[in-house]
Amino acid sequence: MILLGLINSLSRILGKGSVVNVYCLTDATLISDKELLSVIKDSGLVVRLISIRSSKAQRLIGRILYKLLPVNKVKKHRLLSKMQLDLRELKGDYLLIGGGNLIMDLFEHWPATLSEVIDAWSQKGGFCTFLGVGAGPIKTEYGKSLLKESLQRTRSLIARDRPSLSLCQSQLCYNGGYVYPDMAFGLEINEQISRCEGNSMLGINISGAWGPRWPFKDPVRYRNMIQVYADIAETLVRTRPFKRIILIISNISDLQAAKDLERAIALKHFNLDILYSDYHSASPMSLIQGASQCELVIATRLHACIASALAGRKVIAISYQPKVIDVINGWLPGLKCYDIDKLIDFPDSLELSELSSIYSERQPCYLEELPRLRSLVDESIEIAFRDVNIDE
């Protein structure tokens, strides 16, 4: 969704025929995504999708050297990042780095990977800026050092929420910066989707937090989280005329959590169908189309919250990481957001009256904010271009 929002916004700012290189830190699956190619075609931009991931053989050698070489952790991560990337294709006038939660060391190798990309761009004489990014967690000294170094070599930092900018200023000694909406808000939705009436379906989007594929596993907390969602579903289904539940998958790593939730809901003995969104692609438009079928969406992943809002649905957000509540409170203050930790530790803190009031709204109060947020995304990109050109 971030990339689609960025492409939509760039097409409004730069106009048809402008050349945009999109450098992917993934394999070729993104490059062959039909939905993305369709959005690119409609934008009128000349967009080149370029993978900067190295060959499988080179990545394998990097992992072997990482395990064998007797050097410190920072040098190991730098070596692994060099072996994971092929940066020969980097070219252009500006490098916009974003969006997403990029300024963090949750994955140990990431700060070194980010540093390598900025190094390569700087050596070519180019300038770059962070655009629409979140920050945190930053837990390690080497992560802090590399991220601080990366920020110092960029022209500006445009964060997607106030706490992310504050963290960069306090932990990474960054001066200045801006706060603008997540780039996914730049996405323009087909009016037929946004005006679609829900059909008595309850949508649930769940993350795999603490589960088998999560960086930090906690089986007990994971089971308790599943139970919280099952209890919320029970409350809504027993008091409202929902006929179906659709489990909306926004990240394939959450599929196991969705299946575990399906089993937990089945134990409630509801007489209704449980469906899945198209999780094989888990693409932005399948996410939006899945949400558009619902009367109400319980959304956990940040971009599932945004997609449901863009689709014009009533949304209850459940924050599994600080970024969710930070972005929602910053840009969609009318959207109710609960902290999953609080719901797990105090199950009775979510009252039926609150759920009923959200369901009973004629239309979500945040809908009128969406055009303004789209304009602000455009403004953030214009600021990024201005800052890179500041000495020219």
- Say yes or no to pLDDT of 148 above 60: yes
Q: What is the structure's pLDDT at 33? A: 65
Q: What is the structure's pLDDT at 282? A: 62
Q: What is the structure's pLDDT at 88? A: 85
**Range with the lowest mean pLDDT among 32-46, 337-351, 365-379?**
32-46
Q: What is the structure's pLDDT at 392? A: 46
Looking at the fold, whether 144 and 13 belong to one and the same domain comes out as: yes
Q: What is the structure's pLDDT at 26? A: 67
Q: Which one has a higher pLDDT value, 271 or 171?
A: 171
Looking at the fold, whether 161 and 224 belong to one and the same domain comes out as: no
- Say yes or no to pLDDT of 193 above 70: no
Q: What is the structure's pLDDT at 42? A: 84
**244 vs 199: CA distance, rounded Å:** 9
Looking at the fold, whether 216 and 145 belong to one and the same domain comes out as: no
CATH number at residue 127: 3.40.50
Interval 351-384: pLDDT, tens:
666 776 666 666 777 888 999 999 999 999 999 9
Looking at the fold, whether 149 and 221 belong to one and the same domain comes out as: no
Owning domain of residue 337? 191-369
**Range with the lowest mean pLDDT among 86-95, 140-149, 310-319?**
86-95
Q: Which one has a higher pLDDT value, 160 or 60?
A: 160
Q: What is the structure's pLDDT at 199? A: 67
Looking at the fold, whether 359 and 379 belong to one and the same domain comes out as: no
**Mean pLDDT computed over 342-351:** 82
- Say yes or no to pLDDT of 93 above 60: yes
Per the listing, tokens 């990024």 go with: 384
- Say yes or no to pLDDT of 27 above 90: no
Looking at the fold, whether 167 and 207 belong to one and the same domain comes out as: no
Beta strands 19-24; 46-51: pairing state: parallel
**Range with the lowest mean pLDDT among 158-162, 201-205, 238-242, 250-254?**
238-242
**136 vs 168: CA distance, rounded Å:** 9
Cβ within 8 Å of residue 201, ≥6 positions away: 242, 243, 244, 245, 246, 293, 294, 295
**Range with the lowest mean pLDDT among 34-38, 60-64, 155-159, 345-349?**
34-38
**172 vs 165: CA distance, rounded Å:** 10
Q: What is the structure's pLDDT at 307? A: 92
Per the listing, tokens 């990097």 go with: 62
Does the pTM of the predicted model rise above 0.85?
A: yes
Task: Judge contact between 158 and 384, C-beta under 8 A.
Answer: yes
- The SS3 assignment for 8 reads helix
Looking at the fold, whether 177 and 197 belong to one and the same domain comes out as: no
Looking at the fold, whether 58 and 107 belong to one and the same domain comes out as: yes
Looking at the fold, whether 154 and 203 belong to one and the same domain comes out as: no
Task: Judge contact between 128 and 154, C-beta under 8 A.
Answer: yes
- Say yes or no to pLDDT of 329 above 80: yes
Per-chain mean pLDDT for the chain = 86
Looking at the fold, whether 176 and 214 belong to one and the same domain comes out as: no
What letter does residue 85 receive in the DSSP assignment? B
Q: What is the structure's pLDDT at 133? A: 95
CATH number at residue 248: 3.40.50.2000
Looking at the fold, whether 202 and 330 belong to one and the same domain comes out as: yes
Looking at the fold, whether 176 and 195 belong to one and the same domain comes out as: no
Over the range 212-229, which residues count as b (16 or more CB within 10 Å of their CB) and which as e?
eebeeeeeebbebbbbbb
**Mean pLDDT computed over 57-71:** 81
Q: Which of 380, 330, 309, 310 is nearest to 6 (CA)?
A: 380
Split into its structural domains, the chain has a count of: 2
